[in-house]
Structure 1
Amino acid sequence: MIVHDESGAALTELTFERLTPDGGVEAIDRMLAEEVPVAIEFNGIGYAVLMATPSDIGDLVLGFALAERLIGPTDGTFDVDTHRTAQGIVVRATLPQASMPALIERVRHRASESSCGICGIENLEQAIRPLPRVTTQVRADRAAIFRALDALAAHQPLNAATGAAHAAAWVSPDGAIRLVREDVGRHNAFDKLIGAMALSGADWEGGFALLSSRCSYEIVEKAVLSQCPLLVTISAPTALATERAAEAGMPLVVLARSDAILLRSSATLP
């Protein structure tokens, strides 16, 4: 897979006035996370505009294409060219020709969704599409989860600087953090992580994904489609997210904090 990444800086420094209840005023400098439009074209067709942090754009687009089911993990080369403009970033990605039917079908549904919301039974079926079963086995126990939770902050430089970024981490079975991607959007952070892993040919190796966000059904779908053996999120899940995880046979840990984690009663850990 070939990626030409011309993304820009992810940080901007601005001056604010710090106001206190007693009438005090103090000028302070703050680092802010960049958020720019990223316009994605697949095979010359305008597909989506994401609001994202302008870093690891090649990873983002690859992970997004996998999550959209436009390609599979073994579909060959994936060429991405990114171009910075005054308005944001334009990404031109070339998918394999075998992806064209799926691309055209998804573009048709996305066009109807953007024009009038989710309309009709056909689009409802597209919104909640069947998921494959997760066939990979988790080898991480609760000690590994707590170990990763303790270590995550040290792998979040963008969030440390701004307080405004989510992280998605690939964690090994022993709780060591192998790879992290950050973004102002939780979906983008996870797409970047999955894309980076796909680009390097890595798999989960019995480990798990750790996200600094709530667990929505889209996050579950991305994890399942990447054959993640266990999804751990720091915040709470939605009811649909837990249902989708159970249907796919993927264990789910939520509200993961340093003092306790919640494991769905239908799931097990080693």
Structure 2
Amino acid sequence: MTDPETAGDVPAPTTIAEAVTFAFADAVPRPLSRAVATEVPVQVLFGGVPFGIMMATPADLEDFAYGFALTEGVVADAAEIRAVAVDGAAGAVRLGIDVTGARLQTHLARKRAMTGRTSCGLCGVDDLAALPRAAAGPPGAAPRVALGAIGRALAALDAGQDLNAATRAVHGAAWATLDGTVVAVREDVGRHNALDKLIGACLRAGRDPASGFVVVTSRASFEMVEKAATFGCRTLVAISAPTALAIDRASALDVTLVGIARRDSVTVFHGAERIAADPA
């Protein structure tokens, strides 16, 4: 595990905005101050070579570095990252990721330019063959997950989203143990960024991907399935519905895919036989 080297001024994850609110009942303007989520360009460099620019919330950036490097296929595990440098200047952030020499050479041979919008996970891909895909499904048998565990994780994720509680403008991703205990939450204005941050946090903490499951507050697009599978996670729970391609990829990679997760019900699109009705 490496410690990030931080230089310059990295913006705060929230700022205060002045606004006016109107109630439909009386149409009276009422001034208020409220926290809003910060969104800044984060330039990612591998070995000093620019890779792309992502719009992200400037928090947990070292976790983002690890998760992004893994899910983009630049590294295969945390040990191949030697250092992370975070440099803030002029309302932007440079995220320098130093990887081992062999990995850097492989990366440079396949490098794609990427300028990422907040919601985008595929910006800069100009060839279908370059779509990021997990090479194979995670190893081992997928674990059974109890409905009660999913319910506990959903409730804990809502309570653990401090940034969203302040801004109501960010996505969350959580890592829960198989009994539904949430042990890590990461947030970002971009759903892909939140998941990359979570995966990075799990990598740095040495968590076993088979020991729990991921819960996200977004739809389950195919990129979210790919990222989870690349980490080695066998179960993905999403608040919203999946896309058809996400279901296809979950089936191909044998990742249990749970969508439309609510307090009173869930819908399982792949791996329903692994969802246990009994309490965890």
TM-score, length basis structure 2: 0.88
- Measured in 2, the distance between the counterparts of 1:5 and 1:243 equals 40
* Residue of structure 2 in register with 1:31 after alignment: 35
Greater shift after overlay, 245-254 or 138-147?
Answer: 138-147
DSSP-derived class of the 1:20 partner:
coil
Shift of 1:42: 0.4
Alignment pair present for 1:106 and 2:110:
yes
8 A contact 2:255–2:271 mirrored in 1: no
Q: Which amino acid aligns with 1:33?
A: A
CA distance in 2, matches of 1:187, 1:61: 13
Distance 1:5 1:241, change over 3 A: farther
Flag the structure with higher strand content: 2
Greater alpha carbon shift after TM alignment, 195-204 vs 136-145: 136-145
Separation of aligned partners in 2, 1:239 and 1:195 = 27
**Quick one: which of 9, 13, 16 aligns to 1:13?**
16
1:265 & 1:106 partners in 2: Cα distance?
32
| Aligned residue in 2 for 1:41 | 45
Corresponding residue number in structure 1 for 2:202: 197
Q: Deviations over 1:205-247 (max 9, x none)?
A: 4310000111111111100000102000000111101101110
State which of 55, 72, 76 in structure 2 corresponds to 1:72: 76
1:213 aligns with 2:218: yes
Work out whether residues 4 and 62 of structure 2, in 8 Å CA contact, stay in contact via their aligned partners in 1. yes
Cα drift, residue 74 of structure 1:
5.4
Whether contact under 8 Å (2:132, 2:226) holds in the other structure is no
Aligned equivalents of 2:5, 2:186: Cα separation in 1: 15
Once the two structures are TM-superposed, the CA of residue 132 in structure 1 deviates from its matched residue by: 1.0
Residues 146 and 72 of structure 1: is their aligned pair in 2 closer, same or farther, counting only changes over 3 Å? same
Amino acid at match of 1:70: V
- Aligned-partner Cα distance in 2 for 1:23–1:146: 39
Are 1:165 and 2:170 matched, yes or no? yes
Aligned to 1:65, the other structure's residue is in SS state: helix
CA shift in 2, pair 1:158/1:65, >3 Å: same
User: What is the aligned partner in structure 2 of residue 241 from structure 1?
Assistant: 246
Are 1:140 and 2:148 an aligned pair? no
Three-state SS of the structure 2 residue aligned to 1:92 is strand
Contact preservation (8 Å) 1:12, 1:32: yes
The answer to whether the 8 Å contact 1:168/1:190 transfers is: yes
Q: Deviations over 1:61-88 (max 9, x none)?
A: 1100000111011544430111110130
Pick the aligned partner of 2:265 from 251, 260, 263.
Answer: 260
Q: Indicate the RMSD between aligned Cα atoms, in angstroms.
A: 2.0
Aligned to 1:153: 158
Q: Return 5+ residue gaps in structure 2 as ranges.
A: 115-122
Q: Is the 8 A contact 1:140 1:206 kept in 2?
A: no
Shift of 1:94: 0.6
Change (3 A) 1:20 1:179: same
**Equivalent residue number for residue 4 of structure 1:** 4
- Alignment gaps of 5+ in structure 1: none
